[in-house]
Structure 1
């Protein structure tokens, strides 16, 4: 049996109670396969998964198998377009991939006519699915907002220090009581209350973490502080935007919405801190966000690493590696001071002078240069002959690709020859390179750093420094210089210093 007579099934159910079950979809698709004389070779299933999610396990495996030449089937049976995706872009990408791989997608609920009719019909159905998806989303959000206004949770896990408690609403659905959830303090509530009260009082977070016995990572603790109103006994919703493709990865460009868009229902559960303490925490976070340095503002980002290769990342005015944080401004000042001192040192001057003289030494490449010049002259003659012929041709454009090809070869040879001329010319000035001239050059390089703005200074550091290592444990620092000589040869030399940095 050939692949054309074998098919795969894809079935998906959603959270919608009125949705078609996986078993019902499977029965209808098996009937369709039997009617068309197709043998079912594979089935892909996703239970209670959103149609716009790329990471559905069954759908992800389907994508992988579509790309395989040995998948063993050439027809994919699906109940309707909404099973695959309600998002037009996702559906379009999947259809394109199937066409490219020779897979024909057949929808049980869409009658087949001709290729043009199928294309139009499929697009119409997918647009309807897309509209339905948006309407369902809006209905879901409205329901969540109503839950919040009634003092219930809108969904999700309980924040650290609380647990979820089910509360019966009095309604019955499918013979079972409908429940909503509220927050109640758990065993961790005392520790988190002490931590948040200390942070509101201005105490250092690292000290409070040790004293309270909290083992959460720093980013989680920042998230807890952003939930300060929740810890003050209020239910807060609509704080964060949906993930998207805008700046920062969120629709609208920022993770959190303006305060006026938040939905706050007051006094819905037991508070661990006061509202005044919560407002202090939120005000501090808002100030940090307004003055936070971007990655481009960190002079050493990209070249600052730990000895084991881990990178130090810019984070709210600090460089962070694991749990170690160093004040960015202080470290940058000390690195710049160290560079100014190092560039005048005898060791770097000596190595830079030796590297420059070595790069300028004659190495017998004049023979190569003459060969390149002969190739260039020969190409020039060929081009001249072709251009003469083209003037007499009725359709000279036929030779245009050949002319472009030879012209490109000629330019490449001229570039290579020019670089070789510069290299050979350096041999004549090699005796003029002394340690004193190199010292003067490096001193001028160090002085040129003064007065540059941060963007220019960062670009200059990228050219001067190969990398900087700072040990998160011992705080020992080492600078690896890459000082370019005239030919592009670099000197990389480690120079260490002990930065005076607080732990």
Structure 2
């Protein structure tokens, strides 16, 4: 059989040279007894654009009645395109014309698996193209050096103003953003100037009649240099996959911040900005709010610790939980005592025969109540979308200007992806529910024993996330100091029950 090669080199994948691809594909052709009669080449061309000479020539020959090859050899899916709609449209067109596309770096599989692999590899290729972290960060830093924003929303008191850079990219003018003040700027200026004078936040909010929470105001204060007319970047640490931030702190040391001076109109002075930041760095309140938002809060149970009436216990002075009662002084309990009692009860419940029996019973009840496949209608909608995508692809291949059709394909594909993800989630949940039908107390006990052992061996900094993954809420009575844990053992976080036995009351504060 006769074959053609398509070779493309890439700036950001310089190890895949044209010669290396050619040698690899010639070996593949030899192994398959194929005769190579044509070669299409794009040297250092972007895979994000379909406007490549070699690619366009290949596309023209694909549609030609005089084409003398039936197999197209490529190194991998990214040689074709990193834009999903281009790759899909091309392969759809190739199938219609009985042309087989063979990749040297993709294993041979059955047709059904091949469809899945195509989608997986194309998704990986697009991620590689669009999420080049180093290039993105370098581009952001250069934007800041030139006095532009590196992304994100405008702080309160400012709005984004688009600036035409005079550069044309892909036929469109490149625009960047800077800050300009809004009508609210004078009010925000008075607020921040008051904070520079160390006037309490509550008094400022009351005097200015502005609807802001203390934590929002603290976030604004951390933007003090921006309010002083400077563009600031590289302030925050990266988020950790395990929650919180890498290094345990939300913000980097100020020596790591990148500050470009005088890029927009200031509403406070440099001295006022410095005073605000110094106050924040030395303030226990500011540190507490930052720690809480970072995931390093000393409180294990904030957010899930409630009274029987549904009121939330809140952290106080990093040592206590507090509930404010109407027309009374309020109630304080030592955080360490509550945290210790709850964690011991949690571990004890996981090993309790009574708890295991109750949870097994709840699992069987849950399964009986969820017998209908929840993803059926979504899958029917996906089938209809696939038909629309296929018809639009057919239309695109016959148009002189396929751009509008390709954009529609992209829109439909985004919707299809969203529905497919939701169908997958519901199917996994349904499968998990079905598995509950025959679950035994011995199996539940083994699962809970693993939970208990994992929890006991976790570093203390991970306990809060672990508790929230297992617990829906904890009811702590401010009068008796008795508490009850309401669990949600994961079946997609929906199997809920309360601890089945009473809990010894805490010692009074």
Settle same-fold status: TM greater than 0.5.
no
State the TM bucket, normalised to the shorter chain: 0.3 to 0.5
Structure of higher CA gyration radius? 1
Give the TM-score normalised by structure 2: 0.42
